[in-house]
Amino acid sequence: MRPVEGLTRDAFLGGKLSICQPEQGYRAGIDPVLLAAAVPATPGQSVLELGCGVGVASLCLGVRVPGLTLTGVELQPFYAELARGNAHANGIALDIVTADLAALPASLRARDFDHVIANPPYHLRARGSAAPDPGRETALGEATPLALWIETAARRLAPRGWLTLIQRAERMPALLGAMDTRLGGVEILPLEARPGRPAKLVLLRARKGGKSAFRLHSPLILHEGSRHERDGDSYVPAISDVLRRGAALPWPA
């Protein structure tokens, strides 16, 4: 099926998913795939994604773990409608709620979830320049503080439920500072492009009511070798399994 003008149809998970998304503006890359792969979900559980965009993270998770109850919240109606279409096209049940996470509808506020996942905007708008495309700017430029993302997640999690986030490494102090006292057992997994390079992204896991000590894991390396030396990707086998075959991300024990 060909997308309409201004949209592209892109393969994820080695073709297991076909995703329609804007040709210009915010386009999903590997970040939501890595986020989905890090979620410790099991069949029969419920998952809420805050800021789901076109639905890539939730749909990747749905491919890997059958029998989940998936719900996504998306502020921008255009992206929310694309997410609904992507879910239908891929035969995955995903309920999309068009809403601001700061003002969730009563129907969502009455529910709790085994997992909440999110890929919050990466950039503080006190710094840098806004993206010219409004959809991309909303996705990447922070308007809702990280503290509100964490607060909303904590409220929607069931007892012992898991929060999983992906965020830029430079935002880690703000991310940790925003952690709600209801969330414990915080673990940070840095994602390092190549050995010896500073990590640009981190994955965070926390548990509602968790009591274990904070853990900062050794970085997970994404690419082989110290530099890019050939055409095509050079992902290490475990990451290639995540991106091409929908495998779970190897979270440290």
End-to-end CA distance of the chain: 42
Could you tell me the pTM of the whole model? 0.89
Q: What is the CATH number of the domain that holds 215?
A: 3.40.50.150
On the question of pLDDT at 88 being above 90, the answer is: yes
**pLDDT band at 5; cut points 50, 70, 90:** confident
235, part of any domain: yes
Q: Report yes or no on 196 lying in a domain.
A: yes
Q: Nearest to residue 124, comparing CAs of 102, 140, 100?
A: 140
**Separation CA 238–CA 104 (nearest Å):** 37
| Structural domain boundaries, residue 120 | 29-245
pLDDT 10s digits, 95-126: 999 999 999 999 999 999 999 999 999 866 45
Domain assignment present for residue 69? The answer is yes
Asked, for residue 18, whether it belongs to a domain, the answer is no
pLDDT of residue 135: 44
On whether residue 202 sits in a domain, the answer given is yes
Of the two residues 143 and 67, the one the predictor is more confident about is 67
Q: How many structural domains does the chain have?
A: 1
Q: Does residue 5 lie in a domain region?
A: no
Answer yes or no: is 67 within a domain.
yes
- Indicate the average pLDDT of the chain: 90
